[in-house]
């Protein structure tokens, strides 16, 4: 998002041409979303932040300052699951990662029905060796499917 506000008129981001326009119909059509992000410096990655920021086009603002707002995705029984992965094993080292996904996705109108914090994972593919984590992830997926 570059703050051009073109999305307020077009209800989709037209200020950037990077392929996100291909995802907007999928976001609208689907009732569920799964956000998964590694922890970078106690927070979500720049890529996840960019994705969340690009969902700005779903907000509806009034013209008063400070502007009141709602979301075109609200009141549609939308559900979400969020997962954060952290190399360290201490919960404090995950910082705001889960919250940084939860707050904006809830503001858009999603009910976050489950969260998973995964610790001690750094190497690509290493989570495949973590049976307990995989079981928790499968259970979250099943919960999401049932909720939809």
State the Cα–Cα distance between residues 140 and 148, nearest whole angstrom: 12
Helices (H), 37-130: 46-54, 97-107
| pLDDT tens column, 48-90 | 999 999 999 999 988 888 888 899 999 999 999 999 999 999 9
Superfamily the domain 6-147 falls into: Flavodoxin domain (3.40.50.360)
In the chain, DSSP assigns E strands to: 32-38, 59-61, 69-71, 78-86, 110-119
Mean pLDDT of the chain: 94
Helices (H) and strands (E) counted in the chain, each on its own, are 5, 5
Query: In this predicted model, what pLDDT tens digit does every residue of 92-106 receive, in sequence order?
Result: 999 999 999 999 999
Contacts of 88 (CB under 8 A, 6+ apart): 94, 119, 120
pLDDT at 19: 86
The verdict on pTM exceeding 0.85 is yes
Angstrom distance (rounded) from CA 10 to CA 41: 35
* pLDDT for position 51: 95
Total number of residues shown for the chain: 148
**Beta-strand pair 69-71/59-61:** antiparallel
């Amino acid at each position: 998002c570059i703050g051009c506000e073109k999305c307020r008129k077009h209800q989709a981001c037209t200020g950037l041409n990077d392929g996100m326009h291909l995802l907007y119909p999928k976001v609208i059509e689907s009732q569920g979303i799964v956000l998964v992000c590694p922890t970078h410096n106690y927070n979500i990655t720049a890529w996840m932040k960019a994705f969340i920021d690009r969902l700005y086009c779903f907000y509806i603002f009034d013209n008063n300052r400070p502007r009141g707002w709602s979301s075109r995705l609200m009141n549609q029984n939308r559900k979400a699951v969020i997962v954060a992965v952290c190399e360290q094993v201490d919960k404090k080292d995950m910082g705001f990662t889960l919250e940084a996904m939860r707050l904006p996705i809830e503001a858009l109108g999603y009910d976050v029905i489950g969260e998973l914090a995964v610790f001690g994972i750094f190497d690509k593919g290493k989570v495949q060796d973590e049976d307990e984590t995989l079981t928790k992830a499968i259970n979250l997926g099943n919960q999401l499917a049932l909720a939809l």
